[in-house]
């Protein structure tokens, strides 16, 4: 087997997987804080990427301005979604909440197609240097930047949940809402904040993917890819989400290689993560890092 090719595949997998990890993290964030399984996670990427693209192409804003505007827009977008759609559903059956997020997903996909059309649109080129050499490998600079952005977001999450007061409040709310309220934490605010952060972070991933592949409704597939990543890592573990994302990314690429060389089943790239999903559910239903409650001995 070709060593260099395998290395290239793993590297590609890690780059894409880091983005899966970022999206999975923002999915887990919502699930942990407010117990909502958000089927519209992929549409956060879609909306974010389209907004940024529109700012850069139609309004001709410089990248930093367009990007900042996108972040601000997604913050408000996330809060409004939570307040208008999800808040009235607090206390309703899980299935109603899930159906609401599925509805949001369909709605925003259609809305984006209606506004921006069905064709993929490229971002204006952002990098002057197309490729750089890393460890003897040719890597597109957008990929490198994407990896950097992912790592930055992950570090940000880690800092937020370990050191910031609001991150701790979010963890407390995830652990026990009544206790959180007794500490003076406003649970509705935490819910809104979790949706805002999730929307913003997903949108950043959306912009990155958009820069690499162009903006199209294909972006919302990331919302589906999140499931194997998240189940693999454990539905309520942020670290698990990152690792799950990386594993899924690598798995996709390696599976595709194996398939093209020996199996010839076709389309393993899309399917392999879901085989893994089924296996994980059979063997380790709480995932690699899912909650096991601490029992005092």
Structure tokens belonging to residue 40: 């519209």
Q: On the CB side of 92, how many CA atoms lie within 13 Å of its CA?
A: 13
**Residue found by looking up tokens 């709480």 in the block:** 286
Q: How far is the CB of 72 from another protein (least distance, A)?
A: 25
Degrees to nearest 5, angle at CA 144 with 138 and 146: 145
User: What number of other Cβ atoms are within 10 A of residue 295's Cβ?
Assistant: 5
Burial class of residue 237, CB neighbours in 10 A (0-12, 13-18, 19+) = buried
- Looking at 175, 263, 267, 279, which residue binds another protein (CB under 8 A)? 175
Residue placing its CB nearer to another protein in the complex, 140 or 177: 177
Of 14-73, binders to another protein (CB under 8 A) are none
Of 277-296, binders to another protein (CB under 8 A) are 293-294, 296
Q: Does 176 bind another protein (CB under 8 A)?
A: yes
Q: Does 178 bind another protein (CB under 8 A)?
A: yes
Q: Does 172 bind another protein (CB under 8 A)?
A: yes
Q: How far is the CB of 142 from another protein (least distance, A)?
A: 38
Part in contact with another protein (CB under 8 A); list of ranges 18-26, 179-187, 207-215, 257-265: 179-187
Q: How far is the CB of 294 from another protein (least distance, A)?
A: 3
Q: Does 185 bind another protein (CB under 8 A)?
A: yes
Residue placing its CB nearer to another protein in the complex, 151 or 179: 179
Q: Does 183 bind another protein (CB under 8 A)?
A: yes
Question: Please, are residues 20 and 229 in contact by the beta-carbon 8 Å criterion?
Answer: yes
Residue placing its CB nearer to another protein in the complex, 174 or 272: 174
Question: Please, are residues 225 and 244 in contact by the beta-carbon 8 Å criterion?
Answer: no
Part in contact with another protein (CB under 8 A); list of ranges 3-11, 43-51, 115-123, 176-184: 176-184
Q: Does 179 bind another protein (CB under 8 A)?
A: yes
State how far the Cα of 159 lies from the Cα of 165, in Å rounded to an integer: 11
Q: Does 224 bind another protein (CB under 8 A)?
A: no
Residue placing its CB nearer to another protein in the complex, 156 or 188: 188
- Looking at 171, 213, 239, 290, which residue binds another protein (CB under 8 A)? 171
- Looking at 62, 90, 132, 182, which residue binds another protein (CB under 8 A)? 182
Residue placing its CB nearer to another protein in the complex, 189 or 284: 189
Burial class of residue 225, CB neighbours in 10 A (0-12, 13-18, 19+) = buried
Residue placing its CB nearer to another protein in the complex, 239 or 271: 239
Alpha helices in the chain (DSSP H): 3-34, 41-57, 63-80, 94-116, 141-163, 165-175, 177-182, 187-213, 221-233, 238-258, 268-283
Residue placing its CB nearer to another protein in the complex, 17 or 233: 233
Q: What residues have CB less than 8 Å from 139, skipping those under 6 apart? A: 11, 131, 132, 133
Residue placing its CB nearer to another protein in the complex, 264 or 293: 293
Question: Please, are residues 42 and 287 in contact by the beta-carbon 8 Å criterion?
Answer: no
Degrees to nearest 5, angle at CA 80 with 74 and 86: 120
Q: What residues have CB less than 8 Å from 269, skipping those under 6 apart? A: 252, 253, 255, 256, 259
Contact positions toward another protein, by CB under 8 A?
A: 165, 168-169, 171-172, 175-179, 181-186, 293-294, 296
């Amino acid at each position: 087997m070709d060593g260099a090719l395998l290395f290239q595949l793993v590297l590609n997998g890690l780059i894409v997987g880091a983005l899966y990890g970022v999206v999975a993290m923002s999915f887990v964030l919502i699930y942990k804080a407010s117990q909502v399984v958000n089927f519209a996670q992929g549409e956060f990427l879609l909306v974010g990427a389209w907004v940024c693209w529109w700012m850069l192409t139609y309004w001709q804003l410089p990248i930093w301005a367009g990007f900042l505007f996108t972040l601000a827009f997604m913050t408000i977008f996330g809060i409004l979604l939570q307040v208008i759609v999800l808040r009235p559903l607090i206390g309703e059956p899980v299935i109603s909440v899930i159906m609401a997020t599925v509805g949001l997903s369909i709605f925003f996909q259609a809305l984006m197609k209606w506004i921006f059309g069905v064709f993929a649109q490229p971002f204006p080129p952002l990098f002057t240097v197309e490729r750089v050499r890393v460890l003897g490998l040719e890597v597109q600079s957008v990929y490198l930047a994407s990896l950097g952005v992912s790592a930055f977001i992950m570090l940000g999450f880690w800092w937020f949940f370990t050191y910031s007061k609001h991150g701790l409040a979010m963890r407390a709310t995830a652990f026990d809402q009544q206790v959180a309220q007794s500490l003076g934490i406003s649970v509705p605010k935490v819910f809104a904040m979790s949706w805002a952060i999730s929307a913003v972070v997903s949108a950043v991933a959306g912009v990155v993917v958009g820069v690499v592949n162009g903006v199209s409704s294909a972006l919302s597939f990331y919302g589906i890819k999140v499931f194997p990543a998240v189940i693999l890592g454990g539905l309520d573990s942020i670290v698990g989400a990152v690792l799950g994302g990386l594993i899924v990314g690598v798995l996709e690429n390696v599976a595709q290689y194996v398939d093209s060389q020996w199996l010839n089943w076709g389309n393993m790239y899309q399917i392999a993560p879901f085989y893994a999903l089924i296996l994980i559910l059979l063997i380790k239903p709480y995932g690699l890092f899912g909650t096991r409650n601490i029992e005092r001995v």
